[in-house]
Structures are given as structure tokens and as C-alpha cells.
Amino acid sequence: MEMTKDIEQILADELKKEIDNEILNTMVGPNLIQKGWFQVVVKNGNWINISQEWCDQNLSGKHSYTCFGYYWYFEYEKDATIFSLKWT
């Protein structure tokens, strides 16, 4: 029974994260796009594998991108392009 509860809690936590990301994307995403940022959507499950290390090595800087689950936003088009080629 304890394992079932643990699995239920993990699933509930994942669902909560997904809902939070959708809400944040809905609220913040349009504002970023209006400011000239570029959106890349990674819906094939790969977004879970994207590491901070990869972003640090391949993108312009920590403040040049943000993500909400599988919705990623980039200040620079070259970062959006590199990211898109790798992860979509």
C-alpha cells in the first residue's frame, strides 16, 4: 500500500508542475514574445533531458532564456535556433 501512495504522490506532483507551467506560460509567454523573444516548444518529451550544463555551454547566458516545462523562450534568435536544432 505504501508504494501505491508514493506513486500517487509522484503523479500528483508531476501534474501540479505541468499545470503550473501551463499557467506561467499563458501569463508570461505572450509578454516575452511581445518584447521580441523567440518561443520554442519541445513536446516530444526531450525537454526533461535538457540539462543546465548544456544550456550554460551552448546559450548566450542564464538570463537570455527561460522555460516553463516544454515552453522555452530565448532573447536571441541564434539561441532559439541552436536549441531548436538540438531538442526538437
Q: Which amino acid is at 81?
A: T
pLDDT-derived band of residue 1, with 50, 70 and 90 as boundaries? Answer: low
Strands 38-41 and 71-74: antiparallel
State the average pLDDT over residues 3-18: 80
CA-to-CA dists, residue 85 to 5, 58, 82, 88, angstroms: 40, 12, 5, 6
> Confidence class of residue 18 from pLDDT cuts 50, 70 and 90?
confident
Bridge-partner residues for 72, per DSSP?
Answer: 40, 67
pLDDT at 38 over 90: yes
Q: Where along the chain do its domains lie? A: 2-87
| pTM of the predicted structure, to 2 decimals | 0.76
pLDDT of residue 43: 81
In the sheet that holds 65-68, the strands lie side by side as 38-41, 71-74, 65-68
Higher pLDDT residue, 36 or 19? Answer: 36
State the Cα–Cα distance between residues 72 and 83, nearest whole angstrom: 9
Mean pLDDT of 14-39: 85
